[in-house]
Structure 1
Amino acid sequence: MSMYYGPETVDHSMIGTTRRFNEDSKTIEWFRATSQGHKDPPADAKESIIYRMLPEIEKDKLIFQIGTSDPDRAVQAARLVAADVAGIDVNAGCPKPFSTHGGMGAALLKTPDKLCAILEALVKAITPEFEIGISVKIRLLQTAAETEALVRRLCATGITGLTIHCRTTPMRPREAAIRGQLRMITEVCHEYGVACLMNGDVENRDQAIKLAEEFGADGAMIATSAEKNPSCFRSVADGGLASWRDITDAYVKAALDVENRYGNTKYLLSQLVPGKEKVYQPANQCKSYSSTCQTLGLDKYLEQAREVDSKLGLDQPIQGKAAKKAANKKARDNASALAAGGQMAKSRDNTQKKKKALSDRAPNTQTEKSEPAPVALTG
């Protein structure tokens, strides 16, 4: 059985959103009006979709991964999505600044009391009402004893699952995962009836199954490899890895069907298309779904791409955008020139006034005229 973890979504961004079902894309969306610097967004403010799911495929399989550093906010954010997802996972393993900022992500490993309080609050408020489990993802601590102590505390909160990323917080993805503590961690989890997943350098389904069996884990999480080729979840017996062209074909079609934000689609395509391919750079320079389809040879989706471009406002002529940019630059230059001209005129007036004042004080003899101005002050 496969479960899908969504990207880390910060509690602050979810709180205050509104849920709706999008009839066109068949997705459930949580959105808010963009404030654009206003305390109270105007009625015609643009909308920003914070989280979205496709229930037809993801129902009973999607785990909402939350970034939080406060029990109350965690519960508020989780309650908004709990009825639509299969579980809530607290991210206590991401070492990146966007996550650790404000005490979230791997920063929670330094505040275990707070982490346990967050999990206890979610278990108490969310599990009974929505009948879904609460889980947590962590990293290894500096010693096996420290890791074991933390795992025991976390399991005692009532969680149903724990994922261990087999790296310490300072370690980067290029450094090999450390699996020496993995069996101990799985055994501790099982003492409490908690499922244990492993993460770190897991590249495909067959390897995941083999590693889970070797260390007694209940499963494995694949992350980096999935960004490069999502077919890594398919076993060799079922065909193994698909070609990047087949993957990008399926991904572009899915993105068009749900009218995905183009910037996000473009970023993920940069992970799916190998850097050595000739279309890699041209694809990165595209600015719309239409140009992307043309670049990748997906002309069969062009009509749908143009419709989506129109809905997302991506169908403006490039020349028009360039002209508008040039006009804005010219306006800024003119404003700067006018400001500079005003300063220059003011400077000339001040200089002339200063010269006049000095000439009024200067003596009238020819000899004294040729002396520097301060001589007149010597009396």
Structure 2
Amino acid sequence: MKIFLAPMEGVLDHSLRDILTRIPGVDVCVTEFIRVTDQLLPESVFRRLAPELQQGSRTPSGTPVLVQLLGNDPVAMGENAVRAAEMGAPGIDLNFGCPAKTVNRSRGGAILLKDPDEVHAITAGVRRALMPEVPLSAKMRLGFQDKSLAIENAQAIEAAGAMQLTVHARTKVEGYKPPAHWEWIARIREAVSIPVIANGDIWTVDDYHRCRQVSGCEDVMIGRGLIANPFLAQAIRCGEEGLGAAATWQQTRSLIQVYHGMVMARLEPKHINGRTKQWLRMMQRHYQQAEVLFSEVRAERDPQRFAELLQAVEANG
């Protein structure tokens, strides 16, 4: 059984990957997507979105990091996959799931699921370009407007040479609205022979067990659930809900401080507080204390003053 940390553009950057993998439980991370048009991107782009490439393609705690690419040009996708692999990526993942309108308008992400032949062509282009020993995987949703092509898309990805498939159990139109249709993952798993990873609506240990039971998958990918509760993967490993909010908030609060310092070191001042506030907002689903902390810092615009407020909360327990 493996637990993958999902790619989430603008949220799960390398700083948060570092923080979340400090807690035992996550086996593999996937980067935010690197957008490919029709050109070979400079190495600086890869280093910016996947700085782990300079650290053996692992987070500081040692968790492997796969590089995800998004685009629709098979040749350019292949060339950029080769570049990522040459820079040390332990595997390449293809994005057929992003629901963002700006991405879909440029024929990237989930909109490609309207055409299984194009999905096949892109995947095959990357597979041809890569050395055989470089693992190639893909992540897809169940479709764009509906699920009618879900199995055909999955089979196209397999036929084109992908070695693993993650399925987010909703369509683009369904977005992130519950429920996640894990039963469709089971249908896809039965239709392909490559390993399938289940993704969507895993917020608790109980969700994890129900997802595995319904989907039939051994492995899962978790995004929002791990952001809301950084100790979720560890709780899953323990096989119980015992690592609850009361038990982990003090450690989580310290992680928030560390994360804010990391963001201060690399982003422009106008963007810093927004990243930390974004994480706090998402934590409110699991931690009532995060709602209280958010209310104390939400009006602060100065990053240093924001850090001082976090420190004061930490000092006061």
Question: What is the DSSP-based 3-state SS (H/G/I as helix, E as strand, rest coil) of the residue aligned with 2:167?
Answer: strand
Are 1:227 and 2:222 an aligned pair?
A: no
Cα RMSD (Å) of the superposition?
3.2
2:254 is the alignment partner of 1:249: yes
Partner of 1:341: none
Contact (CA 8 Å) 1:137, 1:165: kept in 2 or not? yes
The equivalent position to 2:135 in structure 1, one of 133, 136, 141, is 133
Aligned residue in 1 for 2:10 = none
* Distance in 2 between residues matched to 1:240 and 1:70, nearest whole Å: 45
For 1:296, the equivalent position in structure 2 comes to 310
Paired with 1:199 and 1:149, the residues of 2 have a C-alpha distance of 19
Query: Is the 1:59–1:85 contact (alpha carbons within 8 Å) kept by the matching residues of 2?
Result: no
Gaps of 5+ in 1: 20-28, 32-48, 302-379
Residue 183 of structure 2 contacts residue 214 of structure 2 at CA under 8 Å; is this kept in 1?
no
Residue 229 of structure 1 contacts residue 244 of structure 1 at CA under 8 Å; is this kept in 2? Answer: no
Residue 186 of structure 2 aligns with which residue? 183
Query: Which amino acid is the alignment partner of residue 215 of structure 1?
Result: S
Within the candidate set 278, 282, 295, 1:270 is matched to 278
String of CA shifts for 1:169-199, please: whole Å, max 9, x gaps. 2113123112332222112223xxx110111
1:122 aligns to 2:126 (yes or no) = yes
Deviations 1:38-89 (A, max 9, x none): xxxxxxxxxxx34422535376621212111111221232223224223211
**In 2, Cα distance between equivalents of 1:117 and 1:13:** 15
1:81-133: CA deviation from partner (whole Å, max 9, x where unpaired): 224223211111121113212100011111222221111111122242xx321
Match of 2:267 among 253, 261, 268: 261
Q: Distance in 2 between matches of 1:282 and 1:85?
A: 41
Equivalent position SS for 1:168? coil
Change (3 A) 1:230 1:157: same
Q: CA deviation at 1:148?
A: 2.1
C-alpha separation in 1, matches of 2:206 and 2:88: 30
More off after superposition, 101-110 vs 175-184: 175-184
The alignment's TM-score, normalised by the length of structure 1, stands at 0.62
Q: Is the Cα contact below 8 Å between 1:199 and 1:221 reproduced in 2?
A: yes
Contact kept? 2:91, 2:136, Cα under 8 Å: yes
Q: Report if the CA contact (8 A) 2:68-2:92 is conserved.
A: yes
Partner SS state of residue 297, structure 1: helix
Q: Are residues 63 and 30 of structure 1, via their aligned partners in 2, closer, same or farther at CA, if it must alter by over 3 Å? A: closer
Q: Count residues in correspondence.
A: 270
Match of 2:112 in 1: 108
Q: Distance in 2 between matches of 1:206 and 1:175?
A: 16
The answer (yes or no) to whether the contact 1:205–1:232 under 8 Å persists in 2 is yes
- In structure 2, what is the equivalent of residue 279 of structure 1? 293
2:79 pairs with 1:79: no
Contact kept in structure 2, 1:293 and 1:299, CA below 8 Å: no
Q: Is the 8 A contact 1:89 1:135 kept in 2?
A: yes
Query: Structure 1 residues 60, 113: CA separation in 2 closer, same or farther (over 3 Å shift)?
Result: farther
Q: Report the AA paired with residue 105 of structure 1.
A: G
Q: Measure the CA separation in 2 of the matches of 1:88 and 1:58.
A: 21
Uncovered stretches (5+) of structure 2, i.e. residues with no partner: 3-26
How far, CA to CA, are the matches of 1:125 and 1:228 in structure 2?
38
Q: 1:120 to 1:207 in 2, by over 3 A?
A: same
What SS is found at the alignment partner of 2:94?
A: strand
Q: Which has the higher contact order (CA 8 A, sep 6+)?
A: 2
Deviation at 1:270, TM superposition (A): 2.6
Whole-Å separation in 1 of the counterparts to 2:203 and 2:39: 31
2:9 aligns to what?
none
The structure with the larger Rg is 1
Mapping for residues 309-328 of structure 1, pairs under 5 Å: none
- Give the structure 2 partner of residue 350 of structure 1: none
Which of 31, 43, 49 is the equivalent residue of 1:18? 43
- Structure 1 segment 38-187 matched on structure 2, within 5 A: 49-53=48-52, 55-57=58-60, 61-82=64-85, 83-128=87-132, 131-141=133-143, 146-187=149-190
- Counterpart Cα distance in 1 of 2:79 and 2:276: 30
2:34 aligned residue: 9
TM-score by length of structure 2 reads: 0.72
Cα distance, 1:252–1:261 mapped onto 2, change above 3 Å = farther
Whether the 8 Å CA contact 2:79–2:129 is kept in 1: the answer is no
Q: Distance in 2 between matches of 1:241 and 1:269?
A: 22
